[in-house]
């Protein structure tokens, strides 16, 4: 790869270094609007709005039926208040304190108290209607809209699965906001109405992976779109973090936009490395409902978004469909199925190994440990369970403890030891790219890998894996469920960016993460995508089966980010697990000792229990 003065790359060999260049795109976002809670019903696609109103009507009618059956089944005032707020928001009707109290069907004092509680919880925004502020309207907050969007999606799916009869194409492809059946192509980018005014041009710090490198190929196109020069620096993941922390210590940021690995979000929020986006923009402009839920949630800390998903790249199990067919094997759904398939396909004499995975000491193996624990139903923290797996909404309270030395974790450790039997001889030095290259070359039958690495075989005509790769979530352990642990990056704004550059940085951020930009990345080789609308675009879906597979996993709630929770201590704990488990895999210590030592070292990263 030839570098330019405006693009500085690491030397080959660092994690994240790539010689694939793809493209980036843009969708024009006009004029900055910092008002929170602005009605955005008119911004939603008609079907999305109709779907949400349909769910609202269903819940309202169900509540009426229950109340007519017995007073004991009366809906809570909070639910009635919420439904009135959301309906008014979608239909463009203002809600007032009087109308909310009436909608609650509760006594005046009770309803008034519930509304105040919801305001204090950040669920309701209040906007003055007069200069004195004595008259005001009430609106659902971004937090409430986000929660309701997810609820509406789940209610729709539950109703369809329970009462919808035979699954139709439209139902099986449903996602909140549209359906694949009626999807239209995303139009090309448009030039911003006004060029961005940034002294010295736009300065961007990214990870040197295939998706971000598309910006280099389309640098001139993006400069034309935003009206200013772009200066991009790309680093391997460890150097990216080092440079980000160096930049945070400066009086003024050297970058307008930075790429942030998802597990870093909590620490960067706590250390004021990143700026909360709701301080500088209307979150509704991002169209949160268009993002895969796990990717959007992972961008948050303490209920606030600190970046916009630029890549949602789950780690999947890649497997050779042709090799499975020859052996009469079914795609593995459980870890035992995986071990059986790996054993059946492992044939070192013929240069074929069963499976490859991240097993290099430190960061690489540490990620594998956390994801394998999750496969066995064990989060790295004592997270409370919820319908989608485990709840991460309250991590900012810092009340969590590590849960490494557990019976489920022992099962996970023993599973990793057994995987060694069907892995290539250099497995203990394999990391991100090393596990995919031999898979692309036809020397591996299965490999755990992020979707961003799929171009290594999907775009290589000489690869035996091209057109023969199936995509699965992680097979589940005895106490787990199939999941696809979400990785990837958000793009955010440094907290120390000079104020005079913030507005323009916001507009550029919206351009780089827009549907049109994401589509352009894909058309030029990327296999990551954080948006439903892009995954449903017919032009995109023709390029790779990976998008349909990932959207299906999101629809089934298999895309999860809780396996690598974005807490401030996560990097250190990943390193700890990667060291202790590496010693275990080398036979230096037992699985029990690895778990005990990892638990003790992880506990030491936390303060004393409160």
Which of 117-126, 209-218, 482-491 shows the lowest per-residue confidence on average (mean pLDDT)?
Answer: 209-218
**Claim to verify: residue 245 and residue 231 sit in the same structural domain:** yes
For 387, counting Cβ atoms within 10 Å of its Cβ (0-12 exposed, 13-18 middle, 19+ buried), the class is exposed
The continuous run of DSSP H or E covering 528 comes out as none
**Claim to verify: residue 319 and residue 306 sit in the same structural domain:** no
Q: Is residue 548 in a domain?
A: no
**Claim to verify: residue 468 and residue 343 sit in the same structural domain:** yes
Residues pairing with 559 in the sheet: 484
Q: Is residue 247 in a domain?
A: yes
**Claim to verify: residue 439 and residue 588 sit in the same structural domain:** yes
Q: Work out the pLDDT band at 48, boundaries 50, 70, 90.
A: low
Q: Report the DSSP pairing between strands 444-450 and 308-320.
A: antiparallel
Give residue-wise pLDDT tens across range 409-429.
Answer: 999 999 999 999 999 999 999
* Residue 25 pLDDT > 70: no
> Total structural domains in the chain?
3
Q: Which of 133-137, 285-289, 311-315, 410-414 has the highest mean pLDDT?
A: 410-414
Q: Is residue 155 in a domain?
A: no
Q: Is residue 411 in a domain?
A: yes
* Residue 32 pLDDT > 70: no
- Proportion of the chain above pLDDT 90, given as a percent: 54
**Claim to verify: residue 387 and residue 286 sit in the same structural domain:** no
**Claim to verify: residue 18 and residue 98 sit in the same structural domain:** no
Which of 153-157, 283-287, 338-342, 359-363 shows the lowest per-residue confidence on average (mean pLDDT)?
Answer: 153-157
Contact at 8 Å (CB) between 562 and 571? no
Q: Is residue 528 in a domain?
A: yes
The reported pLDDT for the residue numbered 172 is 38
What average pLDDT is seen over the chain?
Answer: 84
**Claim to verify: residue 478 and residue 522 sit in the same structural domain:** no
* Residue 16 pLDDT > 90: no
The reported pLDDT for the residue numbered 592 is 98
Of the two residues 151 and 198, the one the predictor is more confident about is 198
* Residue 336 pLDDT > 90: yes
Which of 514-528, 566-580, 589-603 shows the lowest per-residue confidence on average (mean pLDDT)?
Answer: 514-528
Tokens matching residue 303: 């209920």
Q: Is residue 332 in a domain?
A: yes
Distance of CA 102 to the CA centre of its chain: 39
Give residue-wise pLDDT tens across range 293-332.
Answer: 888 999 999 999 999 999 889 999 999 999 999 999 999 9
**Claim to verify: residue 241 and residue 348 sit in the same structural domain:** no
Q: Which domain holds residue 86?
A: 46-122+143-149+170-176
Give residue-wise pLDDT tens across range 542-594.
Answer: 899 999 899 889 888 899 989 999 999 999 999 999 999 999 999 999 999 99
Q: Which of 176, 195, 220 delimits the end of a domain?
A: 176
CATH number of the domain to which 344 belongs: 3.40.190.10
Give residue-wise pLDDT tens across range 245-283.
Answer: 999 999 999 999 999 999 999 999 999 999 999 999 999
Q: Taking the alpha carbons of 200, 204, 210, 214 in that order, is the dihedral positive or negative?
A: negative
What is the pLDDT averaged over residues 215-222? 78
Q: Which residue do the tokens 């990717």 mark? A: 295
CA 453 – CA 469 distance, rounded (Å): 13
**Claim to verify: residue 422 and residue 528 sit in the same structural domain:** no
Q: Work out the pLDDT band at 183, boundaries 50, 70, 90.
A: low
Strand locations in 412-565 (E):
444-450, 469-472, 484-492, 559-560
**Claim to verify: residue 331 and residue 362 sit in the same structural domain:** yes
């Amino acid at each position: 790869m030839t570098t330019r003065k405006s693009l500085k790359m690491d030397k080959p060999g660092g994690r994240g270094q790539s010689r694939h260049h793809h493209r980036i795109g843009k969708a024009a976002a006009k004029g900055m609007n910092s008002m929170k809670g602005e009605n955005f019903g008119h911004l939603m696609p008609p079907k999305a709005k109709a779907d949400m109103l349909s769910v609202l009507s269903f819940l309202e009618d169900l509540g009426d039926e229950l109340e007519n059956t017995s007073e004991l089944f009366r809906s809570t005032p909070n639910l009635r208040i919420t439904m009135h707020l959301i309906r008014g928001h979608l239909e463009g009707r203002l809600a007032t304190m009087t109308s909310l109290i009436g909608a609650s069907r509760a006594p005046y004092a009770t309803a008034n108290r519930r509304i105040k509680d919801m305001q204090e919880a950040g669920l309701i925004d209040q906007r003055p209607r007069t200069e004195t502020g004595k008259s005001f309207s009430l609106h659902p907050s971004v937090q409430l809209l986000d929660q309701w969007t997810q609820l509406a999606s789940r209610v729709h799916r539950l109703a369809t699965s329970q009462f919808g009869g035979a699954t139709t194409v439209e139902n099986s492809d449903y996602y909140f906001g549209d359906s694949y059946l009626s999807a239209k192509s995303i139009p090309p980018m448009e030039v911003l109405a006004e060029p961005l005014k940034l002294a010295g041009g736009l300065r961007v710090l990214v990870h040197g992976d295939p998706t971000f490198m598309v910006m280099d190929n389309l640098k001139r196109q993006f400069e034309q779109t935003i009206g200013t020069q772009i200066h991009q620096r790309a680093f391997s993941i460890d150097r990216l973090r080092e440079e980000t922390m160096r930049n945070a210590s400066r009086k003024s940021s050297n970058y307008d936009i930075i790429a942030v690995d998802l597990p870093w979000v909590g620490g960067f929020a706590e250390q004021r490395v990143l700026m909360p986006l709701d301080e500088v923009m209307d979150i509704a402009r991002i169209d949160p409902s268009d993002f895969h839920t796990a990717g959007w949630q992972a961008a948050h800390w303490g209920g606030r978004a600190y970046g916009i998903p630029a890549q949602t790249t789950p780690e999947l199990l890649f497997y050779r469909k042709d090799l499975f067919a020859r052996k009469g094997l079914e795609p593995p759904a459980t870890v035992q199925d995986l071990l059986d398939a790996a054993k059946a396909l492992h044939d070192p004499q013929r240069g074929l190994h069963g499976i490859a995975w991240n097993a290099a000491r430190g960061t690489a193996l540490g990620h594998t440990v956390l994801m394998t624990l999750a496969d066995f139903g064990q989060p790295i923290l004592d997270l409370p369970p919820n319908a989608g797996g485990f709840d991460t909404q309250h991590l900012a309270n810092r009340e969590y403890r590590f849960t490494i030395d557990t019976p489920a974790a022992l099962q996970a450790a023993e599973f990793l030891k057994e995987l060694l039997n069907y892995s290539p001889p250099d497995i203990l030095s394999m990391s991100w790219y090393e596990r995919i290259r031999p898979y692309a070359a036809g020397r591996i039958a299965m490999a755990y890998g992020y979707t961003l690495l799929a171009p290594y075989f999907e775009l290589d005509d000489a690869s035996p894996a091209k057109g023969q790769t199936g995509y699965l979530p992680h097979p589940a352990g005895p106490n787990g469920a199939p999941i696809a642990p979400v990785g990837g990056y958000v793009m955010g704004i440094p907290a120390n960016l000079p104020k005079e550059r913030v507005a323009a940085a916001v507009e550029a951020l919206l351009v780089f993460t827009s549907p049109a930009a994401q589509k352009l990345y894909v058309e030029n080789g990327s296999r990551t995508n954080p948006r439903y609308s892009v995954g449903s675009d017919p032009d995109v879906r023709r390029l790779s089966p990976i998008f349909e597979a990932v959207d299906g996993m999101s629809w089934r709630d298999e895309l999860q980010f809780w396996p690598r929770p974005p807490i401030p201590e996560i990097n250190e704990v990943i390193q700890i697990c990667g060291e202790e488990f590496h010693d275990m895999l080398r036979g230096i210590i037992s699985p029990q000792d690895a778990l005990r030592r990892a638990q003790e070292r992880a506990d030491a990263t936390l303060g004393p229990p409160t």
